[in-house]
Amino acid sequence: MSTPKQVIEMATKAGAKMIDFKFVDTFGTWQHFSCPIGELTEDIFTEGLGFDGSSIRGWKSIEASDMLAMPDPATAFMDPFCAVPTLSLTNTIAETGTKEPYSRDPRGIAQKGEKYLASTGLADTADFGPEAEFFIFDNVQFDAKSNGTFYTVDSEEASWNTARDEGPNLGYKIRHKEGYFPVAPADTQQDIRTEMCLLMQELGLNVERQHHEVATAGQAEIDLRFDTLVKTADNMMLFKYVIKNVARRHGKTATFMPKPLFGDNGSGMHTHVSLWKKGKPLFAGQEYAGLSRMALYFIGGILQHAKALSALCSPTTNSYKRLVPGYEAPVNLAYSARNRSAAIRIPTFSDSPKAKRIEYRPPDPSANPYLCYTAILMAGLDGVLNKVDPGEPMDKNLYELAPEELVKVPQVPGSLPEALDALGRDHEFLLKGDVFTRDFLETWISAKRKEYDALRLRPHPYEFFLYYDV
């Protein structure tokens, strides 16, 4: 759908009785409110709908809480998880009175990123293709009190259930790091992943493939076809919505938490990026691995700002339990063709100029996609504008480097505070074109430091194992 009139026609044809207005908060969670279908007029697309923004994490204080949700007609779909026929619209957030974009709205930030790209004259389109991994568990329980804390997850596939009484236990459990990609009966989730894919396609998402991932206990991946920045971020929000709710239909739970299991691979969101101008791919050329000089400069910008990017692309304390050596995690800030041990990989599946792209591997699916993709774009553009040399590629297994070699390779931050410190030092590239604002970045850093402090101050169960008898 592209026009308000077409959206109204769609809603009428589908017999919609309600409209659901969705928007993303600072940290990447969809929020919503609903209205009867009688409120659906062409005017709401230009006038917006007022709501109280004071209870949204990281947004307005109560004395200035009036905000406008501006529906985007291109995002319309009939929500498959509502019992009553419901039209869904994704919104950008604006200030009342001026209708200026709200500076802390992630979708608005991504839109400004696209405008900034066009203003540079370097390209008119940035395409993003995410590979978001996730886990489908049968059960999850957790608690955190002053006198105790715990978590437990479970899955019929899990290697730790070989001895469980399942009446009978048939044995086909997936060993740690061996989930890529056995067929049934070891893989128990083929049908549920297929159901997710087919529903995504019904809702307009272009699905490329689905499969079990490396970890035990139901780790999965569904790949979406690339699209423009804002569209891809919109797609990722819908992607998560479908996966979580289809899992719930089956009495299961899906999580995009980067590292829910100790001793096995975590979930990443490898992100493919390319620039285009007037339909021409700009990353194809005669340089290393068939890249253009622009693509190499783009890589240089990402590597130069990678530590700061971590605060937006790997934004949780749990992210840094994934970003450790030994679990196929991209901790080495280098680039290479075909090489999955480097933070930036240049895929070589096709010689077509249209397929030429880079893959940035550190991001994980806990990231707010609007902020993550925009930050990657801004870092890459900074590299192109300043002709940042990425250095020599590293065409070797970086996981097996000798210590004296490895020490020369920069690493991603080892913790969320380290990433936040890097962002505090290195953020001028994000401020260009007023894409990000100092206010937003200060708000982000402050909120994330509070998350870390909340974790830091709590005794950990493993500390009892280590220290109770001291």
The single residue listed with the structure tokens 């509502």 is 82
Q: Kindly name the residue from 20, 131, 157, 364 that is annotated as catalytic.
A: 131
| Structural contact between residues 165 and 273, judged by C-beta atoms closer than 8 angstroms | no
Give Cβ neighbours of residue 9 (< 8 Å, ≥ 6 apart): none
User: Which residue out of 25, 105, 138, 221 is catalytically annotated?
Assistant: 221
Helices then strands, counting H and E runs in the chain, come out as: 13, 18
Q: Is 131 among the residues known to form the active site? A: yes
Active site residue 202: no
Any idea what DSSP says for residue 138?
S
DSSP 3-state assignment of 268? coil
The sign one gets for the Cα dihedral 48, 49, 53, 55 is negative
Catalytic residue of the set 114, 359, 364, 382: 359
From the list 272, 322, 357, 361, the catalytic residue is 361
Q: How far is CA 463 from the centre of its chain?
A: 32
End-to-end CA gap in the chain: 65
Q: Is 427 a catalytic residue?
A: no
Q: Tokens representing 199?
A: 């529903």
Q: What angle do CA 9, 208, 292 make, to 5 degrees?
A: 110
Sort strands 227-228 and 125-137 into parallel, antiparallel or unpaired: antiparallel
Residue with tokens 């236990």: 169
How far apart are alpha carbons 101 and 436 in whole angstroms? 12
- Catalytic residue, chosen from 72, 105, 114, 133, is 133
Catalytic residue among 72, 105, 138, 213: 213
Indicate if 359 belongs to the active site.
Answer: yes
- Catalytic residue flag (residue 107): no
The one catalytic residue among 95, 340, 426, 449: 340
Name the active-site residue from 39, 47, 52, 442. 52
- Which distant-in-sequence residues (6+ apart) come within 8 Å of 453 by Cβ? none
58, 25 contact by CB (below 8 A): yes
Catalytic residue among 107, 212, 270, 357: 270
Phi–psi pair at 134, nearest 5 degrees: -160, 170
Residue 195, amino acid? E
| Structure-token pair, residue 176 | 């740690």
221 is catalytic: yes
**Structure tokens, 221:** 């991946």
Active site residue 52: yes
Distance CA 269, CA 81 (A): 25
Token pair recorded at residue 312: 């937006």
Please tell me the distance from the alpha carbon of residue 26 to that of residue 445, in angstroms, as a whole number: 12
Q: Which residues are catalytic?
A: 52, 131, 133, 213, 221, 270, 340, 359, 361
